Structure 1
Amino acid sequence: MRLNPLLALSAFALLGHASAMAADPPVIGLVTKTETNPFFVKMKEGAMEAAQKSGAKVVASAGKADGDNAGQVTAMENLVAAGAKTILITPSDSKAIVPAIKKARDKGVQVIALDSPADPADATDALFATDNYKAGVLIGEYAKAAMAGKPAKIITIDLLPGHPVGAQRHNGFLKGMGLTTFEAKSNELAKPAEVVCMADGFGDQAKSQTAMENCLQKVPAVDVVYTINEPAAAGVFNALKKAGKEKGVIIVSVDGGCQGIRDVAAGKIAATSQQYPLKMAAMGVEAGIAYAKTGKKASGYVDTGVMLIAKNPVAGVESKDTKTGTDLCWGKK
């Protein structure tokens, strides 16, 4: 049977169009706070792995350090220009990034916050994150139980001023300690009398060590140290060890990264609240692919989970051991 040349040509054109579409995977941007923090390194790995399995393309960028809003704004603008239809972002400055997010959304780009919300939270289409206030409450409850009713002199090594994640973890920790604090929605850090020194370590080990050394100069005696994350906790431990004060001080933290769990097992950190950046990243990529296929955007807040990990359990506070923490660190299967 002889084919109509016009029909054959049309079929060929359609096949070529379908082939071109198949060869053009959806572009999903990932903008993290830094490229060096292990949490964000793992988040990037999770996004790349999820994209590879699903046939998407992830283009990753980051600020130079926590608080580098200008770097994140540039990264977002570049991603929009490169054709990204979804951008996943961990905001460094939750308020200052909002205009850039609005510009992207006005152009039809889906924007999802991972780990850290924008301010206001509905500036993004959705948020996939740990309940950071709960993470703080868990380590606060642990520290309180470990003190066995004794009054505590507390030092907090925080993130940076005005950041919602830093405030939520800090204030949640104080809530768990049974101290006067603010509620989860506040971006202000509470400072009850029991907190003898507060300093910002920017989530960085070296900066947190310096911050702790400065606190120890002001207040030589300390019982409990809250840290924003495990690199900060490592810096705090180094400062205490340098001063010959590492024994008998309870250090608590948040993240539950693989190195952090090793530090818990080694006794450097008493307990940490484990969260799952691989899960956040994978969910973000899945939402990006769904938007590319269906045009339907993700919405609202999705809690990606948190678990307390401790080497030595304390009465009245549920926790898992370091083997469990190692098996689950960063959300690996």
Structure 2
Amino acid sequence: MKNVRCAPRPTGLRVSALTLAVAFAAVACGGNGGAGSDGKPTIGVVALNLSNPFFGTLEKATEDAAKAKGWKVMKAEAKTPGDSATQVTAIENMIANKVKAIVVTPASATALNGVLQRAKDQGILVLAVNAPLSPESVADATFATDNVAAGRLIGQWAKASSPAKPRVAMLDFDLSDAPAADRHEGFLAGYGISKSALAGSALTKGTEDTGQQEMENLLSAHPDINVVYTINEPAARGAHTAIRNKGLSGKTVLVSVDGACSGVQDVKKGVIGATAMQFPDRMGEKAVEAVAAFLEDGTKPKGGVIDSGTALITDRPVEGLPSETSEWGLEHCWGPK
């Protein structure tokens, strides 16, 4: 059967959220295209590294929301960061099976552009979650955390909580990664410090081991560090171990981003001073809402990145900066408790 280019459809859905590695593919040419013999539409979900509780939460929320609407779901998983080949193959398979929409957490900002454009050319709705494509317009919309805002929140809190003579260090992830770069820049802006004024910085792999190792290296070179930004909560946990081993517990301000239940527990225990919570379940649910509107009458969401929300979690609130307690965080966090 030949592929048919669908006529343009009206746009204008209002949506509000985003984040994770999933892919929905769907033919939107009307009739029963992309539906089984029972008339139910099929969507595809391509997830990234489901062993990561963030991505697992996003994938489950997306699938549950789709099945609650009576839809069928095709799934595939890229098991390692950067595994675009698996995602490309999965999306090609979904196009061949005439799914109705593609919701994808891209393993690469650019490697999926060609296959996603082919999907759009056939009338399939393309949604990205967790991280934007490059250019963003490759997707009809992106649902993700505003990572600049997340970084700014913990930067503002760290500034207000800093000792009299702050010495600031940053434990980052590969800054070619858009969320990592956005968190980095947001923190600098929120704290009101330039990169050149930092005591030190280092790249981690976002793991506890590399967080500890790089924090040890930084403290060896700059033993007066007393404020530390971390890319995520595992890196923060490792950094805290290094800080504790140096006898600096209680003397160092440590902040992070994510909002996993384990990270919120670390806030409660005083390991992390504050973290910015993301909401991966909202990303998936909002993506499904956008698909539902598209299936109903062809309405597409507004383009660009749609924020899924962020909340500052701390048990040491500062005046003028809205925040939630760790108890609230444990009621809204994701991943194992």
- Shift of the 61–231 alpha-carbon distance from structure 1 to 2, 3 Å rule, reads farther
The reply to whether residue 29 of structure 1 matches residue 44 of structure 2 is yes
- Tell me which residue corresponds to 1:296: 299
CA deviation after TM superposition for structure 1 residue 310, in Å: 0.3
- Tell me which residue corresponds to 1:134: 149
The reply to whether residue 262 of structure 1 matches residue 265 of structure 2 is yes
- Shift of the 80–315 alpha-carbon distance from structure 1 to 2, 3 Å rule, reads same
- Tell me which residue corresponds to 1:277: 280
- Counterpart mapping for 1:163-312 below 5 A: 163-180=177-194, 191-201=195-205, 203-300=206-303, 301-312=305-316
CA deviation after TM superposition for structure 1 residue 70, in Å: 3.1
- Determine the C-alpha separation between the residues in 1 that align with 2:83 and 2:245: 31
- Shift of the 200–72 alpha-carbon distance from structure 1 to 2, 3 Å rule, reads farther
Higher relative contact order (CA 8 A, sep 6+): 2
Does the CA-based 8 Å contact 1:158-1:166 persist in structure 2?
Answer: yes
Unaligned runs of 5+ in 1: 1-16, 181-190
TM-score, normalization: structure 1? 0.81
Task: State the secondary structure of the residue aligned to 2:76.
Answer: strand
* Deviation digits for residues 219-274 of structure 1 (CA, Å, limit 9, x no counterpart): 34421221222233223223434554444222211121222211110111111111
The reply to whether residue 160 of structure 1 matches residue 174 of structure 2 is yes
CA deviation after TM superposition for structure 1 residue 24, in Å: 4.4
The reply to whether residue 328 of structure 1 matches residue 328 of structure 2 is no
CA deviation after TM superposition for structure 1 residue 89, in Å: 1.7
Task: State the secondary structure of the residue aligned to 1:58.
Answer: strand
- Determine the C-alpha separation between the residues in 2 that align with 1:98 and 1:211: 35
Does the CA-based 8 Å contact 1:228-1:253 persist in structure 2?
Answer: yes
The reply to whether residue 111 of structure 1 matches residue 126 of structure 2 is yes
Task: State the secondary structure of the residue aligned to 1:192.
Answer: helix
- Shift of the 56–239 alpha-carbon distance from structure 1 to 2, 3 Å rule, reads farther
Greater shift, 152-161 or 121-130, is seen at 152-161
- Counterpart mapping for 1:58-69 below 5 A: 58-69=73-84
- Determine the C-alpha separation between the residues in 1 that align with 2:260 and 2:46: 20
Does the CA-based 8 Å contact 2:53-2:334 persist in structure 1?
Answer: no
Does the CA-based 8 Å contact 1:137-1:176 persist in structure 2?
Answer: yes
- Determine the C-alpha separation between the residues in 1 that align with 2:44 and 2:224: 46
- Determine the C-alpha separation between the residues in 2 that align with 1:89 and 1:212: 34
CA deviation after TM superposition for structure 1 residue 217, in Å: 4.3
CA deviation after TM superposition for structure 1 residue 120, in Å: 1.7
- Determine the C-alpha separation between the residues in 2 that align with 1:310 and 1:144: 14
- Shift of the 243–278 alpha-carbon distance from structure 1 to 2, 3 Å rule, reads same
- The percentage of aligned residue pairs carrying the same residue is 39
What amino acid is the match of 1:65? T
Does the CA-based 8 Å contact 1:56-1:289 persist in structure 2?
Answer: no
- Determine the C-alpha separation between the residues in 2 that align with 1:74 and 1:209: 37
Q: 1:102 aligns with which of 117, 133, 140?
A: 117
- Determine the C-alpha separation between the residues in 2 that align with 1:211 and 1:98: 35
Task: State the secondary structure of the residue aligned to 1:142.
Answer: helix
TM-score, normalization: structure 2? 0.80
Aligned residues: 301
CA deviation after TM superposition for structure 1 residue 82, in Å: 3.6
- Determine the C-alpha separation between the residues in 1 that align with 2:150 and 2:123: 34
- Determine the C-alpha separation between the residues in 2 that align with 1:82 and 1:241: 54
Task: State the secondary structure of the residue aligned to 2:313.
Answer: strand
What amino acid is the match of 1:80? I
Does the CA-based 8 Å contact 1:44-1:60 persist in structure 2?
Answer: no
Looking at secondary structure, tell me which structure has more helix per residue: 1
- Determine the C-alpha separation between the residues in 2 that align with 1:252 and 1:232: 10
CA deviation after TM superposition for structure 1 residue 22, in Å: 6.9
- Tell me which residue corresponds to 1:53: 68
- Tell me which residue corresponds to 1:144: 159
Q: 2:321 aligns with which of 312, 317, 320?
A: 317
